[in-house]
Structure 1
Amino acid sequence: MMGKLKSFEIVLDNNRSVFHPGERVQGKCVVDVKGELKLKALKIFMRGLAKVHWTEPRSTGTRLGSYTEHYNSEVEYFFKRQTLHGADIPDQPRETLSDGRHEFEFCFELPFQCIATSFEGKHGNIRYWLKGELEKPWAFNHKTKKAFTVISPIDINKQEYQLPVENSVEKSLCCWLCISGPISVCARTDRRGYCPGESIAISADFENHSSRTIIPYATLHQTQTFFANGKSRLRSTKFTVLTGLPITPGNRATWDAQLLKIPAVSPSIINCGIIKVEYYVKVALHIPGAYNLSVHLPIVIGTVPYRRFSPYMVSYPRVIEEVGVSYFDSRMLPVPPPYREMSPPLPAIEAPPTYAETYSGAVDIRDEDDDDNRGVNMGDWTYTPMYTYVYGYRYRPPPAYSEIDPNPVTEDQASNVAEQSSNTRL
């Protein structure tokens, strides 16, 4: 009597679901058999693919009616395979799996460069998955599939992402022959780079010299751009909304670090040739009976959370070169701690990043070649992308700039440090 396949699934080590470029993806294929099962080979594949597809209606201009035009594009990042059991050679003897549970280990390595962050969009996706295939003699092959998230790092601690973004706009309302005073918006963010879970601190100045009551508000927007066959398709999504108090005629209002929460969204995608994901903050004024006045502040959603200054960080002394003589600036040298027998505790190690399921939820990862009319697919064929998320984030405004040193070095401390430095050199 021929054996029966009870279950067939892919299990990743430590139940990992998020990986970074250059890391190893390893785990095992688990096959549970009732009786004895004959097979030719057990294979596993790992693939990374960016895919775009959308349709547009077209008219022929004749009685033939209309037709649908398809736009498709693909970028394959990698395709790897391993044979875990049996032989991938024709006319080889068949293998037999005995009754019970069998585990077959595998290990792949992701490319270190040139792969984009996982993404699921309206007209395309960037997807990475493992597929196991159990080849049986004189029967349909059984398949199982497991997708995982790849995050291409964007470190928002870089200087380019720490600079604020600012924009302003002004207009006057026109009613018949009357022109009102100007309405203006000047808005800025505290920085350019953020991670999901953080809040964008928006500062703004609103002036209303018109005869109408206006309402300020801010929204977070995502734009998805898909490219195929020389054309592009754009989709925009609005997330969090922040609304301010009405501003009556002749008055002004100010926002001082109003917080706009970032949900669990995909990071910005800027290194994929056929899919681009961008974000901006829209700060606007709702004007009754007229077009709203707004400014766009482009931001970047990253993957490496913002690191605030740690009190355990050490500043190295500044060395000044002057006419061939090196000496230390005594004000830059830290005052040595008092002697103690017990070593001080080590600084706390920064916690590893945490991840959250994307707001859009699970998707079906079946492709055209995963047709299951014969009921041979096994396991869970759904997938939910996981992205970096900062839990418990609390906004802390940056310290005000001051020419005065908050921790001045006294003359006695400076002289002691200089004397110790001189003795060390001797």
Structure 2
Amino acid sequence: MGLRIFEIEFDNPTKTFLAGQNLVGKVVVEVDQIEMKVQELVLRLWGKAEVSWVDPKKHKQPKTSRPKTSATPEIRISHSRDHATSDKMYSKEESYCDRRHTILEKKGNDDLTIPPGRNAYPFQILLPTGIPSSFEGEHGHVKYFLEATIKRPSGQYDHNCKSQIYVKGILDLNSDPQAQIDKPEMSHEELLCCLCCKNGPVGFNFGILGNAGVLPGDEMQFLADIYNMSNAREVYIKLKLIQITTYHVDHVYKVERKELLKLKGPSVTRGGAGTWAGESVHIPEGLPPSRLAGRCSLISVDYSLEITVETHNKKQITAQLPIIVGTIGFNTKLEDLIASLNLNPLTTNF
């Protein structure tokens, strides 16, 4: 007897929402045969970033020696150079929202009850604008939850249920100057030997055949020209899509590098040149937008294309070209994004 079901149901079953959007759904409470006396039924919407990591620090162990007395001969003690480790932990958190919404509340001396059977209590609660996207990394995360609490009369246990939601921050490529850069390109060359050798450079010219801004799921076309004027018998080119996450605690930071995709291009023999064309970089679905598209001082997420030219003996040159991953594409409106996420445009407030 008592509470059988207590859960939160959303109109959007994916539980994915845009920053600034209303969460719409219902709290379902199913009670057995006898009505349940309550003080209130309340919702709490909260979200925060948390970062934490440990850096091992080495230090020399203090020297110790046996004291010399008249009763004992002098003893020489040698000290090893072993180092002990002292771990230093960095952690911090940052809150983005903490909002309450009361669904049922006891008034005066009148009893407040939830009747037997299945009861559904509708709700609307607004996500703040400008909050960062949900994110999960090695040393930190950004998470959002909607929590429901049934507060019981004094001396009885309260009931709680919680549901994690997923927030997409708004990064509009149409209004981001870096994303609008047309056909970004770079050139790089190096001598893969000492300066005294009669050896020419190895280098490449690389360019994106479009804008620097993309959406998850896009195909990014590119063109690369490679030349090998060195003594290396052959050089190879490869391309990686890299996600770089930087975690901040005050003036200290920790960088996490994640390889999302890798492509291998053509090889170029000694004294020759080549072109890499006809392929594209697939931007994986579900990527959080650059900078998490919101006000987050603890976690920053950036993306780049990393181009590497390598010889058979592993000597290499590398350079990176930044790109921007957004949530609203070029020539696209917010309404199109809402429709693609199967959201109700009437419940969106920006």
Structure 1 length-normalised TM: 0.66
What is the distance in 1 between the residues matched to 2:339 and 2:236?
A: 38
What is the distance in 2 between the residues matched to 1:34 and 1:282?
A: 61
**Structure 1, residues 109-164: CA drift from partner, whole Å, max 9, x if none?**
2223x312222222222222210112234243222111222222222234732322
- Per the alignment, residue 196 of structure 1 pairs with 216
2:212 aligned partner, one-letter code:
R
- Per the alignment, residue 183 of structure 1 pairs with 202
- Per the alignment, residue 166 of structure 2 pairs with 149
**Structure 1, residues 160-208: CA drift from partner, whole Å, max 9, x if none?**
3232221111112327963322111111112210001111111111001
Residue 58 of structure 1, CA deviation: 4.2
1:73 aligned partner, one-letter code:
K
- Per the alignment, residue 346 of structure 1 pairs with none
Preserved contact between residue 173 and residue 179 of structure 1 (Cα < 8 Å): no
2:204 aligned partner, one-letter code:
V
Preserved contact between residue 185 and residue 284 of structure 1 (Cα < 8 Å): no
Structural mapping, 1:125-144, within 5 Å: 125-137=141-153, 138-144=155-161
- State yes or no: 1:222 paired with 2:221: no
What is the distance in 1 between the residues matched to 2:337 and 2:254?
A: 40
Which of 135, 139, 155 is the equivalent residue of 1:119? 135
What is the distance in 2 between the residues matched to 1:88 and 1:228?
A: 46
- State yes or no: 1:173 paired with 2:192: yes
Preserved contact between residue 51 and residue 92 of structure 2 (Cα < 8 Å): yes
What is the distance in 1 between the residues matched to 2:207 and 2:56?
A: 41
- Per the alignment, residue 291 of structure 1 pairs with 315
Residue 96 of structure 1, CA deviation: 3.0
What is the distance in 2 between the residues matched to 1:54 and 1:236?
A: 15
- State yes or no: 1:45 paired with 2:44: yes
Provide closer, same or farther for how the CA distance between residues 203 and 118 of structure 1 changes in structure 2, counting only shifts above 3 A.
same
- Per the alignment, residue 306 of structure 2 pairs with 282
Residue 307 of structure 1, CA deviation: 3.6
- Per the alignment, residue 81 of structure 2 pairs with none
Residue 14 of structure 1, CA deviation: 4.0
Secondary structure in 2 matching 1:125: strand
- Per the alignment, residue 366 of structure 1 pairs with none
**Structure 1, residues 38-64: CA drift from partner, whole Å, max 9, x if none?**
33322110112222222233457558x
Which of 4, 7, 30 is the equivalent residue of 1:6? 4
- Structure 1 runs, 4 residues or longer, greater than 6 Å off: none
**Structure 1, residues 247-292: CA drift from partner, whole Å, max 9, x if none?**
1111111123530111121111254211100000011112122431
Secondary structure in 2 matching 1:178: coil
- Per the alignment, residue 113 of structure 2 pairs with 96
- State yes or no: 1:304 paired with 2:328: yes
| CA RMSD, Structure 1 to Structure 2 (Å) | 2.8
Higher strand share goes to which structure?
2
Provide closer, same or farther for how the CA distance between residues 237 and 7 of structure 1 changes in structure 2, counting only shifts above 3 A.
same
- State yes or no: 1:107 paired with 2:131: no
Secondary structure in 2 matching 1:157: helix
Secondary structure in 1 matching 2:313: coil
Preserved contact between residue 304 and residue 322 of structure 2 (Cα < 8 Å): yes
Could you tell me the percent identity over the aligned residues? 28
What is the distance in 2 between the residues matched to 1:232 and 1:288?
A: 35
Secondary structure in 2 matching 1:181: coil
Residue 224 of structure 1, CA deviation: 0.6
Structure 2 length-normalised TM: 0.80
Tell me how many residue pairs correspond in the alignment.
311
